Amino acid sequence: MSAKKISSRGRQANKSSSKTNKTKDQKKSYDHPKKSTSFKKKLGDDKKPLSKGKKFSGKGKPNPYRKDLRKDTPQERIIEPTEIRLNKYISNSGICSRREADTLIKAGNATVNGKVITEMGFKVKLTDEVKFDGSLINPEAKQYILLNKPKNFITTMDDERGRNTVMDLVGNATKERIYPVGRLDRNTTGLLLFTNDGEMAKKLTHPKHNVRKLYHASLDKKLAMSDLQKISENFVLEGKMVYVDAISYIENQSKTEIGIEIHSGRNRIVRKIFEHFGYKVVKLDRVIFAGLTKKNIPRGHWRPLTQQEINNLKML
């Protein structure tokens, strides 16, 4: 019985068919990795690289459209909006949602530059003065940053003479524009709060709220007990009455080291108090401000307030 001959064309057809079937099996394996143990083995156990010419179909290719848009989009096209809807402005300030803001706008609770606005969709500029229930609001997220100020930094937003300012120390603390609450003179160290919450800043700086500020003063000579007694009693300085909440020697230290608590916001008031009685303040450090302390804040460093600390300030 003679052997059946297979033509070269037949052999090529069988080879092509085998290769096609194999390719389909591979694609099936890749399309259903959870059902294929061979695919898991290929990823995990088989460390050999794929042979040249074999590639994953499409999965390894980057998205050319997204990449090109990110690369080629000119910066000039990215423009910050100059106007936003009033309801969004109110919502961004943290008062309520946009839907609730619409209801309150209709009721006449919002004013823009002193004028009551009840129109839906009304747009405001970021430079406009917007008030809600009579209080000035800000569309930015509220930020509260506590700094342990070092010496030789002045408390101002900028300085024409190019001196170091406290803003140099907190410049990367937040993207919102914050400003210092109150002042510490150039040579005074210690706690300084920064925020963009105008109502909070006003509350913390007004004497009627009796915000506690405790200082550690180092004097050029020992403070006499008689002078300490006089300072503890109310007295007139520069034509105005000075009220010192508390004053004492610091325990286990020289009588040149004094703790003084005061709620007055007058400029350089602590230094002026001691100068009035013939003493010079060599060092002055604010160690407590509105219940906040320097704990875990090295000199020249800052940290954001915790939510509990923010709540405590709002209850003052």
Query: What pLDDT score does 76 carry?
Result: 40
Query: What pLDDT score does 193 carry?
Result: 97
Please indicate whether residue 197 is annotated as part of the active site: no
Residue % of the chain over a pLDDT of 70: 74
Q: Which residues are bridge partners to 85 per DSSP?
A: 123
259: pLDDT strictly greater than 80? yes
Query: What pLDDT score does 9 carry?
Result: 52
CA distance 147 to 172: 13
Q: What is the DSSP string of 226-256?
A: HHHHHHHS-EEETTEEE-EEEEEEPTTS-TT
Cut 0.85: pTM above it: no
Residue % of the chain over a pLDDT of 90: 52
Query: What pLDDT score does 198 carry?
Result: 82
Closest CA to 156 of 167, 169, 147: 167
Strands 240-242 and 244-249 turn out to be unpaired
| Domains (range + CATH), the chain | 83-136 (3.10.290.10), 144-206+298-314 (3.30.70.580), 212-289 (3.30.70.1560)
pLDDT tier, 11 (very low <50, low <70, confident <90, very high otherwise) = low
Sign of the torsion formed by the C-alpha atoms of 202, 205, 210 and 216: positive
Residues 119-140: tens digit of each pLDDT:
999 999 878 999 998 888 877 7
Q: Which residues are bridge partners to 288 per DSSP?
A: 214, 293
Residues 34-49: tens digit of each pLDDT:
444 443 443 344 444 4
> Residue range 82-90: average pLDDT?
87
The average confidence (pLDDT) of the chain is 80
Check 25, 31, 68, 185 and give the catalytic one. Answer: 185
